[in-house]
Chains A and B, each alone.
Chain A
């Protein structure tokens, strides 16, 4: 299930503006990789190139290669829609569909992908909600709207929705930045469990969070405003936070700038 991501020479543009330049990295399956760096350094943009969401923005354009195992996501003849079915995403703000019930939210992706019988569907929904540690809280109100849940519950609902389709990779774009500490803790615990099954990439502004949840950490930076963001280094999380090989990384994590 979980697949390796292999990025080489990736550059992304918004129109004529170069947002990130020449990024190469490898993400191992069944691991958590955290992206850290100051605002505007392009870590979210880079994340969105991994499931071809970047090109949804008008003027969004990508050069370079992203291999998922051996398949180039930007190869000719690759349908971005099928890429996104393989690479799931959780967003910064919880965004359950307000017009759907909790059940329908989780089933939304499955219904896109094909015909499931009713009991198959409810089995997968239950499994996904359990996988997102939400089942016990919502099992009695699956037919109520998802917008009635708390922020943290909504975010776990979005995670359940994303994992219901069994993606190979799960991308998370600052999934806890709109949540309180308790809900954040719940999501972080969940990430620890999910990495048994998925390759996880998480963007975070919270360095303690990166240190807590990730196996490897990538530090992004930009030389000046308007300049493209670059990958400064990627290494084991422990090393990045104890003994990084680049001075800029140390300055950033120790709070000397950014």
Chain B
């Protein structure tokens, strides 16, 4: 058979000469040069700002930690006004991580479900309005969430807490003495509502970009709508959903006003998620900063540095997860 007849021969591309290479790098025309400078400058500026923040935090933190009479990592106390000062971040680290985990456990599945509903199930004319309402959720200031949490959510948690205590109280994790529901679980639920919009929006954008050809491939194999989602949509969007979750987690880790308004803080680690008390880094800084001495502020900044490091670690871990399955990424389609 004569195969030459089949080809609609595409015009051969010219090999790049030195001049073309320079043009591709984009530094020959004035406009290109200006844009190159601007984008390179922005990139460098970002690194400089990050380094400045890290440097500032580290300097002030070292000042404080060097005078700490307790172990900075394990002490269940925050006394910076006494001599010698005793303070540690154990309770704050525990509270920050636990409340964020609760928030993620609730928000990620719900967000992914909403995003899938909006991209694959909802009637076309409903998609816009629902997405708009979710955007509105993101626009509510966190102090308003905090007030709503304290005034509405906390009193209404009693039913749930009682139920959890009745059925799961024996585990210890869901034991409840009957105090006000200003506890880690309530904070986690509130944080879940707050990070829901960002995770939903990013996931929806990712799911919308699943190529039609992949969905059709699954359909043509006789997949139902759910099977299409399981075979083509979710695997394709997986790394995007992880990134979205990291954005949400970043907000949950650093959320300040809402947590400070809802939680009744103390410096104990409670085994029960329903016991009022505990604290988070951001909440602790916000509550203590205005009345703190110069040294007290340094101590708070030291705790802020730990939050900074935790956030970096979490992001690094997420990137590692995404990179590990890079060759199976939907971007190779």
Chain A residues close to B by CB (< 8 Å): 51, 53, 56, 58, 81-86, 88-89, 91, 93, 95-101, 108-109, 112-113, 144-145, 147-148, 158, 161-162, 165, 176, 180-182, 184-185, 188, 206, 208-209, 212
Q: Which of B229-237, B244-252, B286-294 contacts A (4 or more CB under 8 A)?
A: B229-237
- Identify which of B6, B7, B227, B331 contacts A112 (C-beta below 8 A): B227
Partner of A84, one of B1, B7, B220, B232: B220
Known contacts A82-B222, A165-B221, A165-B222; A95 and B216 CB within 8 A of each other? yes
Q: Give the interface size class of chain B.
A: 20 to 34
Interface contact B222-A81, CB-CB below 8 Å: yes
Instruction: Tell whether, in the assembled complex, residue B217 and residue A158 are in contact, meaning their CB atoms are under 8 Å apart.
Output: yes
Binding-face segment, B24-32, B96-104, B322-330: B322-330
CB distance from B177 to the nearest CB of A (A): 48
Q: In the assembly, what is the distance between CA of A147 and CA of B213, in Å?
A: 14
User: Contact flags (1/0) for B206-223 with A, using CB distance below 8 Å?
Assistant: 000001011011111111
- Inter-chain CA distance A56–B225, complex, in Å, is 11
Q: Are A176 and B328 in contact (CB under 8 A)?
A: no
Q: Which residues on A sit within 8 Å (CB–CB) of B222? A: 81-86, 109, 112-113, 165
B220 partner, pick from A88, A99, A184, A209, beta carbons under 8 A = A88
Pairs A-B, 4 closest by C-beta atoms: A85-B222, A99-B235, A181-B3, A89-B220
Known: A99-B329, A147-B332. A112 touches B1 (CB 8 A): no
CB distance from A157 to the nearest CB of B (A): 11
Complex: how many Å from CA A89 to CA B223?
13
Count of A-B contacts judged by CB separation below 8 Å: 105
Majority secondary structure, A binding face: helix
Q: A97-B232, A181-B3, A209-B6 are known contacts. Are A84 and B219 too (CB-CB below 8 A)?
A: yes
Of the listed residues B218, B220, B329, B333, the one surrounded by the most CB atoms of chain A closer than 10 A to its CB is: B220
Closest to A51 in B: B220
Q: Is the CB of B3 within 8 A of A100?
A: no
Nearest residue (CB) in A for B213 is A95
What separation, in Å, do the CA atoms of A88 and B216 have in the docked complex?
11
Given A95-B214, A97-B235, A98-B330: A112 in contact with B220 (beta carbons within 8 A): no
Contact: B221 with A85, CB < 8 Å?
yes
When distances are taken between beta carbons in the complex, the residues of chain A under 8 Å from B66 are none
Whose C-beta in chain B lies nearest to the C-beta of A181? B3
Contact of A162 (CB < 8 Å), options: B3, B5, B220, B231: B220
Extra pairs beyond A81-B223, A97-B232, A112-B221 (4, CB < 8 Å)? A84-B223, A89-B216, A98-B330, A98-B333
For B6, list chain A residues within 8 Å (CB). Answer: 176, 181, 184-185, 206, 208-209
Complex Cα distance A140/B232, Å?
25
Known: A53-B220, A147-B333, A165-B222. A180 touches B7 (CB 8 A): yes
Quote the shortest CB–CB distance from A74 to chain B (angstroms). 17
Report the bound CA distance from A85 to B333 in whole Å. Answer: 24
| B3 and A148 contact, CB distance less than 8 A | no
CA distance A148 to B227 in the complex (A): 24
Choice from B221, B224, B332 contacting A108 with Cβ under 8 Å: B221
Within 8 A of A (CB), among B286-333: 327-333
B4 an interface residue at 8 Å Cβ cutoff? yes
Q: How far is the CA of A51 from the CA of B211 in the complex (A)?
A: 20
Residues on B with beta carbons closer than 8 Å to the beta carbon of A182: 3
Say yes or no: is B67 at the interface (Cβ < 8 Å to chain A). Answer: no
With A100-B235, A145-B328: A84-B221 Cβ-Cβ less than 8 Å: yes
Residues of B within 8 A of A176 (CB): 6
List residues 178-215 of chain B with CB under 8 A from any CB of chain A: 211, 213-214
Q: Determine if B238 is an interface residue (Cβ-Cβ < 8 Å).
A: yes
The docked-state distance in angstroms from the alpha carbon of A81 to that of B228 is 11
Greatest chain B CB density within 10 A among A81, A100, A182, A209 is at A81
Q: Which chain A residues border B238 with CB–CB below 8 Å?
A: 99
- Please, how many angstroms separate the alpha-carbon atoms of A161 and B218 in the complex? 10
